[in-house]
Amino acid sequence: MDNNEKFNRVAGSLIGFACGDACGALVEFMTPGEIRKKYGRVVDMLPGGWIKGRLAGECTDDTQMALCVARSLVSTCGEPDYKDMSDRLLEWLDSKPKDVGSACRRGLEAYRKTGSLCNGDDTTLGNGGLLRVLPFALAGRTWQEAMGHVELTHNTSLQARAVQSYVLALQAASAGGDKRDIGMEIRGIGIRPVGVKNNRGDVKNSLSSALNWFFTTDTFEDCITQAVNAGHDADSVAALAGGLAGCHYGLAAIPERWSKALDPVVRIEALELAVLLGKF
Ligand SMILES: [Mg+2]
């Protein structure tokens, strides 16, 4: 694979993740029926949602946390430095973001107090750990290394299985594998691509839904649009789906109206990080 194709996939993945987040944030916690009633069908990156004053193209904690991890990996030439990642996330928490998951907050506050890098809640069903692993996959690191960071906040076998599935799927996609190859990689791990009704943001349902939209659609745009209009944990599901779909279809497949509407600070930084991540 030449450098251009590699960049197209890595940048597609990071920008795809952010686009899914920014599209889905509009309808997080809404049912598909409520979305239909209020918006018809969401196909654009609109302002609004439950986060007060949210602008069009503004991302949520999902993208902000993933970018902290990506920055850390770039600063250490792709070698995971768990302390550096935790420090960056703590700094982000102290910047008073509009939205922070409860297990992420607990894990980071425990890190502040004790310096321990493994405060993972062993009962949480949340998906805040899984949402931080995409840069590991793009930097060519293993799912076990990604899990070493996730344990800062989330430490269940279900979280580990989701991390394993997502990292393996991303690696297969970034190596140029087709959907069959990607499906083979994650067979037997226990997170299957299935449509989930009433997904409340637990890690298994979020990834199952994201995989389902990826495998049952044929374009980046359709994948994200389906994930968004299914509502519930729409920002996280569409971010996870967008990360994988962006890696598979490439940057050029992301609709221009979305990449243009995306928060320019995120877009520019994601492209800069992609240049470096793709070289590791
Ligand atoms: Mg979010």
Quote the radius of gyration of the chain (alpha carbons, Å).
Answer: 17
Cα 127 to middle of ligand 1, angstroms: 10
pLDDT in tens, 153-167: 999 999 999 999 999
Cα 1 to middle of ligand 1, angstroms: 33
Cα 3 to middle of ligand 1, angstroms: 32
Residue 198 has pLDDT above 80, yes or no: no
Do residues 22 and 51 lie in contact, with contact meaning Cβ atoms separated by under 8 Å? Answer: no
pLDDT in tens, 251-272: 999 999 999 999 999 999 999 9
Cα 62 to middle of ligand 1, angstroms: 5
Q: Which residue has the tokens 């991303």?
A: 170
Domains of the chain: 3-277 (1.10.4080.10)
Give the phi and the psi of residue 112 in degrees, each rounded to 5. -60, -40
pLDDT averaged over every residue in the chain: 96
Do residues 273 and 52 lie in contact, with contact meaning Cβ atoms separated by under 8 Å? Answer: no
* CA pair distance 265, 200, nearest whole angstrom: 29
What's the pLDDT at 120? 83
pLDDT in tens, 168-186: 999 999 999 999 999 999 9
Cα 146 to middle of ligand 1, angstroms: 20
Cα 52 to middle of ligand 1, angstroms: 13
Axis-axis angle for helices 143-150, 157-174 (nearest 10):
140
Number of C-beta neighbours around residue 231 at 10 A? 23
What's the pLDDT at 196? 81
